[in-house]
């Protein structure tokens, strides 16, 4: 792959986590998902987890300072390549990131609001290994068990319809402006996610090889 410092942008449920898992499998880059890191902090009951939980449950963003402090060291440690998933999410985060490292490419995964709601209300995630399923588009053989590791599948607390609606609004207000921010810097590449996961992956790998 030609690029080693990559960020995935896009609304909640666009498929960032799904594609990120495949990209890091193919490249060996470090997957840095701020959502996954925060959920782990919540599950372990750390101070950061306690502070973040209320924001996450309401579908609001966790304050920039907490997020930047949480991710900075992980980015600096990933010297052979990283894939940012869910970060940056505000202009302040993007500006802080520029001071840590220069990105090679930002992939903007586009999906309509209607399809976001459709995919998120039917998402299930493995509590053990984090594998992502969908009751309609990628149904597990047993809707309660992960096919990869046998772990229990669960529905994320923030995948309730009212929280999804709030997350989408927050995306439009706070994160969508980053599309222009990165376009102006010549880093942005758009990908249409309204098609099967394999096709989205092919499109992304073609961009990363360029």
Which residues are known to be catalytic? Answer: 16, 89, 123, 156, 167
Q: Which residue has the tokens 């940012």?
A: 84
* Minimum distance from residue 104 beta carbon to ligand AP5 (Å): 19
Closest residue to ligand AP5, Cβ-based?
Answer: 35
For ligand AP5, the binding residues (CB under 6 A) are: 10, 12-18, 34-35, 38, 55-56, 59-62, 67, 86-87, 89, 93, 119-120, 123, 132-134, 137-138, 158, 167, 193, 196-197, 200
Q: Which of 156, 120, 151, 126 is nearest to 38 (CA)?
A: 156
Q: Sheet holding 132-134: strands in order across?
A: 132-134, 123-126, 153-154
Of 31 and 119, the one with the shorter C-beta distance to ligand AP5 is: 119
8-state DSSP, 132: E
Of the pair 2, 48, the CB lying nearest ligand AP5 is at 48
In the complex, least distance from residue 132 CB atom to ligand AP5, rounded to whole angstroms: 5
Query: Shortest approach of ligand AP5 to residue 193 CB, angstroms?
Result: 6
CB nearer to ligand AP5: give 2 or 47: 47
**Residue 18 to residues 111, 131, 132, 133: CA-CA distances in angstroms?**
14, 8, 7, 9
Q: Is 111 exposed, middle or buried (0-12, 13-18, 19+ CB in 10 A)?
A: buried
Tokens at residue 90, please? 């505000």
Contacts of 183 (CB under 8 A, 6+ apart): none
CB of 205 to ligand AP5, least distance (A): 14
2 vs 70, beta carbon nearer ligand AP5 = 70
């Amino acid at each position: 792959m030609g690029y080693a410092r990559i960020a995935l942008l896009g609304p909640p449920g666009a498929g960032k986590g799904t594609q990120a898992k495949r990209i890091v499998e193919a490249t060996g880059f470090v997957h840095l998902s701020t959502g996954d890191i925060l959920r782990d902090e919540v599950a372990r009951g750390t101070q950061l987890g306690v502070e973040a939980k209320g924001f996450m449950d309401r579908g609001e963003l966790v304050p920039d300072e907490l997020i930047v402090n949480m991710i900075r060291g992980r980015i600096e440690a990933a010297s052979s390549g990283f894939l940012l998933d869910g970060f940056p999410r505000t202009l302040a985060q993007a500006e802080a990131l520029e001071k840590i490292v220069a990105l090679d490419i930002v992939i903007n995964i586009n999906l309509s609001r209607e399809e976001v709601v459709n995919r998120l209300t039917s998402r299930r995630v493995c509590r053990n290994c984090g594998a992502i399923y969908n009751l309609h588009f990628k149904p597990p053989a047993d809707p309660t068990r992960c096919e990869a590791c046998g772990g229990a599948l669960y529905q994320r607390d923030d995948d309730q319809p009212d929280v999804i609606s709030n997350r989408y609004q927050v995306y439009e207000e706070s994160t969508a402006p980053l599309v222009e921010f990165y376009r102006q810097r010549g880093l942005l590449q758009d990908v249409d996610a309204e098609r099967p996961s394999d096709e989205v992956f092919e499109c992304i790998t073609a961009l990363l090889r360029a």
